[in-house]
Amino acid sequence: MIKRPQPDEYSAFAARYVDLVGDEPILEILKENQQSTYEIFSRISANKAGYAYAEGKWTIKQVLGHMADTERVFAYRALAFSREAVELPSFDQDVYMEGATFNDRTLTDLANEFKTVRESSLYLFKSLTENQSTQKGIASGNPVSVRALAYMIAGHELHHIKILKERYLVG
């Protein structure tokens, strides 16, 4: 079982994601959110998938693609830190978005990809020992534990679902 990380296991910036996660076991949260997030994006019409709520903001497709990209990066960090204490580079979401082709794909394809990425993350986190979950590495210049990364994945998803509901799916 992966326990909730302590505040010294993640950066102040990451706290915004960790703090969004409830007290249920993290693997249950990740599994439940896998399905609920998939369903939310699956219900959005193809006509609305390219919608951005303001100039310069990401489209719905880009938000979902970003969520999958971020989960991949965080899960890779968790894998690396569970095996050895290393330092990994930062992840600039805007640079990643510049090289992405999310708007050229269907929302259905992106939703299926997200669901599959989450399935992979679940297998990774289920495979870890308690000791591995507490191991730390350095990412973006900050120490972070493996279990904090699991919570950051869940919180990052919750953060974007909240924005999606408030700014994209209103009206």
75 confidence band (pLDDT: 50, 70, 90): very high
| pLDDT single digits (tens) 85-130 | 999 999 999 999 999 999 999 999 999 999 999 999 999 999 999 9
Mean pLDDT for 44-49 is 97
Six-digit token pair at 139?
A: 């990412």
Q: Are 133 and 146 in contact (CB under 8 A)?
A: yes
Spell out the residues 6+ positions from residue 91 whose beta carbon is closer than 8 angstroms to its own. Answer: 70, 73, 139, 140
pLDDT over 80 (residue 171): no
Domains of the chain are 7-168 (1.20.120.450)
Residue-averaged pLDDT of the chain: 97
Joined together, the tokens standing for residue 43 give 């219900």
| pTM (2 d.p.) | 0.97
Average pLDDT over residues 77-83: 98
